[in-house]
Amino acid sequence: MLDIIQIPVLTDNYIYLLHDSDSGETAVVDPAVAEPVLAVLKQKGWQLTYILNTHHHSDHVGGNVELKRQTGCQIIASEFDKHRIPSVDRGIKEHDVINLGTHSAQVIATAGHTSGHIVYYFAEDNALFCGDTLFVMGCGRLFEGSAAELWQSLQKLKALPPKTRVYCAHEYTQANGRFALTVEPDNIALQEKMIQVNELRANGLPTVPSTIGEELATNPFLRDLSSTLQAKFKGIAPVELFAKLRRLKDSF
Ligand code: ZN
Ligand code: FE
C-alpha cells in the first residue's frame, strides 16, 4: 500500500509525501520547503529515503538541501537539470524506473514548462506526480520549451489510463476553470466540475488530485480534438490550437 500525504505550502504549492508501509521507504515529491515535511515525518515516525524533483524551479527544490542535511536522503532529479538542482545524487531520464519498496515509478520526460521537466508515474498505484506540466483544467506556462514540446509532452500524459490520479504541484484549479469556461462554455462536464471545485475551495479543501479521465473531459489543453474546439477554431491543427490556447491563457 502506498500512502500519499498532500502537504499544502507557500501560496498554492503542494508537496507530496509517499510512504511504502512494507519496506518503510519514504519519498517526497518537490519539497518547496523543508519544515512542513520534517514535521509530518516526525509525526508519522517515517524516515525520508528519497527526494524526487520534477524540475529546477525554487518552489519545487527549495527544501532539498535542508532535508538532505537532516535526513541523509538521496536526491533524484532529471539528469538534464543536475547542474541547476541543489545536491542531486542521481540523475534520471525517460524510461528510468524509481523503486520505493515494492512500488515503482516510471520516469516520463515532459519538456515544455522547463526543458528538463520530468514526471513520475506509479502505474500500479494509479498515481502521476506531474509537477508543473499538467494542472487540474490547465497546464504549465512555457518558460523554456515551445508550445509544440509541451503539447507533445501532454500527449504522453493523455495516453495514461483514465483512472490515473493527477497529483500536480499547484492549486491553480479555480483560475484554470474560469479560463476553460471561456473556451468551452457549453461543456457540461466542465460546468459540473466547476460547481464541485468552487464548493471545495469555499471550504478550504484541495481540488487536487483529479484524474486523467476528468482532465480529458474538462481540460482545454487536452481537448484540442474536441468537436466544439475544432468548430470554434475552424479545423486548426491540434498543436496550433494548443499554442493559441496557451497564449490566450497567458493573458487571461
Ligand atoms: Zn515551475
Ligand atoms: Fe511551480
Residue of 113, 117, 125, 224 with catalytic role: 113
Whether 55 sits among the annotated catalytic residues: the reply is yes
Give me the residue label for grid cell 483529479: 210
Give me the residue label for grid cell 457540461: 188
Whether 60 sits among the annotated catalytic residues: the reply is yes
3-state DSSP assignment of residue 110: coil
How many domains is the chain partitioned into structurally? 1
Q: Which amino acid is at 104?
A: S
What is the CA 159 to chain-centroid distance, rounded? 15
For residue 148, what are the β-bridge partners?
none
Whether 56 sits among the annotated catalytic residues: the reply is no
Domain encompassing residue 121: 2-250
**pLDDT, tens digit, 9 for 90 and up, residues 57-66:** 999 999 999 9
Whether 132 sits among the annotated catalytic residues: the reply is yes
**pLDDT, tens digit, 9 for 90 and up, residues 93-109:** 999 999 999 999 999 99
Among the bound ligands, the one closest to the CA of 12: 2
Residue of 57, 103, 117, 224 with catalytic role: 57
Residue of 55, 56, 103, 117 with catalytic role: 55
Contact by Cβ (8 Å): 59, 33: no
| CATH code: domain of residue 58 | 3.60.15.10
**pLDDT, tens digit, 9 for 90 and up, residues 151-209:** 999 999 999 999 999 999 999 999 999 999 999 999 999 999 999 999 999 999 999 99
Q: Which amino acid is at 102?
A: T
Residue 233 confidence (pLDDT): 85
